[in-house]
Amino acid sequence: MSEAAQLLGQRIRVGRERFGFTQKELADRMGFASHQIVSQIEKGERELKAWELAQLSRVLHISVVDLLSGTVAEPEPVVLWRKQPQTNKSEKEAIFLQRCRRYHFVEQVVGTNARLSLPSIKKDSLSLTFSDVDRLAQDLRRMLDLGARPAISLIPAAEEYLGIQVWYEDLEEDGSGASARGSFGCAVLLNSAEAPWRRNYSFAHELFHLITWNAISPESLEKDRRVFERAEHIAEQFASVLLLPADELLVELDSQIKAGQIYYDGLVTLAREFDVSTGALLWRCVNLNRLSAEAVKRILADADFQKIDRATMHAHWWNPPPLPERYVFMAFMAYQQAKLSRSKLAEYLEVPITKLTDFLLQYGLDDREDYQIKIPWQSELGATTTVEA
């Protein structure tokens, strides 16, 4: 029984326990005849074959390299959920974190770095005032140069300038999103089934959690309901101020007022224009003292308003791609640079190798082309150099 086999066994046990699998459950998922095989593997008494290792890597969502050489008890980064998943929480988190690590790897190998740093604050949620949050949102809007309609450019700007990974997944009953910070940087998971304007708001909300990650620790949010509710409330305020700048919104609201009244379709148009939900727009109007809370509740409950709102949704609806475009591009660049093999690229992009070409074509990429063709280049001085295309 070698030390390496024992260490591998320990890593497998830790991975299994993270998901709460019994040895029998893991044996079933692996297609082993009995749980005793898992027991032997975990004790380092049975050597794994390469294909079994590949299968374990898939089942436990741990890379082969980490299974073979990772640290045994390295704690996993915390994933902060807006609403805790009702089922398979550990597995959902493991999938998300594995994606984050892959994203970080391709970022590293192709040499992209965030150009700006995410601001951080030291105050905890209980001592943060609304004016602190207003200032923070305004500063961030300026820093990212988000312009008059921040929701439209927020996610791409956060990806590009702050290096925040943005993933989409159909979270079904598991709420609007989650965020995580780890050695891979910052990452946000959004519900792809939600409306685009809801996703914008959720992203801004999660951004607040990332900014306050050290001041309001995810552990304290999970433990203390009062801290969690306060932090959620402030995160909503942050999202509102960030996506609906007061000056711009008031000018637009004024332009919609006819004879001292504002029509439903005017409000809906404004919401679509700012790319936020009508609810978010109306509650921001309350915040800016333009509407009362009672009036907003009445409007939102009004069937006519809902009808107008729904009628405009289709034209503005879009579904996010299965994987972030930036991630796919960088993984493809890593492949081009021979930093990922084609099979590994398929693994990173979560498609069978036979479907890889079609998948890449959806993103405008063609793996059948050779981008490494060299041509001789005659410089001005007459010396011949080579250029790589």
Partner 1 sequence: MTPPPQSLLPDADVIIYAHKIKVWSVLKEKVRIVVPSVILHKEAIYSETDAEWTQIDLPGQVARGEIAEIGATTKEINEVLSKFDVVAREALHIGELEALALLLSGRAAGALFCSADKAAIQSLALLGLSEQGVSLEGVLRSVGLSRPLQHQYTESYFRRHIGIGKERRIKGEGLANKRLW
Q: Which residues contact partner 1 (rule: CB under 8 A)?
A: 2, 4-5, 8, 47-51, 53-55, 57-58, 63-65, 68-69, 105, 108-109, 335, 338-344, 346-347, 352-354, 368, 370, 372
Minimal distance, residue 364 CB to partner 1, in Å: 20
Rounded CA separation 57/47 (Å) = 15
Q: Mapping DSSP to helix (H, G, I), strand (E, B) and coil, where does residue 160 land? A: helix
Minimal distance, residue 48 CB to partner 1, in Å: 5
Minimal distance, residue 6 CB to partner 1, in Å: 12
Minimal distance, residue 388 CB to partner 1, in Å: 11
Contact 188, 165 (CB under 8 A): yes
Report the residue number, 72 or 251, with the smaller CB distance to partner 1.
Answer: 72
Minimal distance, residue 223 CB to partner 1, in Å: 36
Contacts of residue 270, defined as CB under 8 A and 6 or more positions apart, other chains included, come to 249, 252, 253, 256, 281
Neighbours of 15 (CB within 10 A): 21
Q: Which of 116, 115, 100, 110 is nearest to 182 (CA)?
A: 100
Alpha carbons within 13 A on the beta-carbon side of 48:
26
Report the residue number, 36 or 372, with the smaller CB distance to partner 1.
Answer: 372
Contact 197, 275 (CB under 8 A): yes
Minimal distance, residue 366 CB to partner 1, in Å: 12
Q: Which of 222, 297, 287 is nearest to 249 (CA)?
A: 287
CA torsion 346-18-168-314 (nearest 10°) is 120
Report the residue number, 362 or 372, with the smaller CB distance to partner 1.
Answer: 372
Report the residue number, 256 or 357, with the smaller CB distance to partner 1.
Answer: 357
What are 388's strand-pairing partners? 374
Minimal distance, residue 69 CB to partner 1, in Å: 7
Report the residue number, 93 or 347, with the smaller CB distance to partner 1.
Answer: 347
Report the residue number, 55 or 269, with the smaller CB distance to partner 1.
Answer: 55
Rounded CA separation 319/199 (Å) = 11
Residue carrying structure tokens 């409306």? 195
Report the residue number, 201 or 359, with the smaller CB distance to partner 1.
Answer: 359
Residue carrying structure tokens 């105050």? 123
The tokens for 71 are 């640290």
